[in-house]
Amino acid sequence: AQSVTQLGSHVSVSEGALVLLRCNYSSSVPPYLFWYVQYPNQGLQLLLKYTTGATLVKGINGFEAEFKKSETSFHLTKPSAHMSDAAEYFCAVSGGNQGGKLIFGQGTELSVKP
Amino acid sequence: DADVTQTPRNRITKTGKRIMLECSQTKGHDRMYWYRQDPGLGLRLIYYSFDVKDINKGEISDGYSVSRQAQAKFSLSLESAIPNQTALYFCATSHQDSPGGPQHFGDGTRLSIL
């Protein structure tokens, strides 16, 4: 069985500040991990993914995430927030070759203050 | 044109009505999924299909049915709509060569049941 927990349903940062969105997972098989972003009235867009190999993965729009197996975490970071980063962010896990089904966290809404 | 198209984008209907949400894709993917999104709950899988002759229940399939009319089309039906099925519904696709994901999402259908 797999599950995802995102710590904090709302995160607010100032423009230019560090963005840190937390995600912890549980999985009985080696996980594939994803971060998606959802802008208002739009579907989900893939930010980045971890499957195998390098544990620090870089995505679009300056975001990156690090897979830490010992901590069962996959936190999303960005060094300097922009106003355009305001959106909802979802962490998701799949069981690798177990058919592509995604289990999502509950989402974190990011607000960016001027 | 969008790669994954959902119709309608918005629908308001009454309790007891039968509703069909449609999804079509031009990505050539063999795998298709239906999710619902509720505030604070993230996305939950309703049904998924790995090819035209394959239909599988997700974690919340009760009250829903699906039809895979062709590789590019996957429709979701609510047989007798009830108010707690009010939600944002997403269709997604993925390629068999990426079994762990990621998935490509449509822009969603906002369904309100009165």
Query: Under an 8 A CB cutoff, do A92 and B101 touch?
Result: yes
Residue numbers in A near B33 (CB within 8 A): 101-102
Kindly tell me if the per-residue pLDDT of B1 is higher than 60: no
Query: Phi, psi (5° rounding) for residue A84?
Result: -70, -10
pLDDT tens digit sequence for B56-91: 999 899 999 999 999 999 999 999 999 999 999 999
CA dist., res. B75 & res. B77, Å (int): 7
Task: Determine the pLDDT at residue A40.
Answer: 86
Residue A51, SS3 per DSSP: coil
Nearest CA to CA, how far is A25 from chain B (Å)?
Answer: 14
Most A-contacting residue of B50, B54, B57, B105 (CB-CB within 10 A), to test interface? B105
Residue A95, pLDDT > 80, answer no
Q: Is pLDDT larger for residue B9 or for residue A100?
A: B9
B25 touches B5 (CB < 8 A): yes
Which residue among B94, B102, B105 places its CB closest to the CB of A43?
B105
DSSP chain B: --SEEEE-SEEEE-TT--EEEEEEESS--SEEEEEEEETTTEEEEEEEEEETTEEEE-TT-TTEEEEEEETTEEEEEESS--GGG-EEEEEEEE-TTSTT---EE---EEEEE-
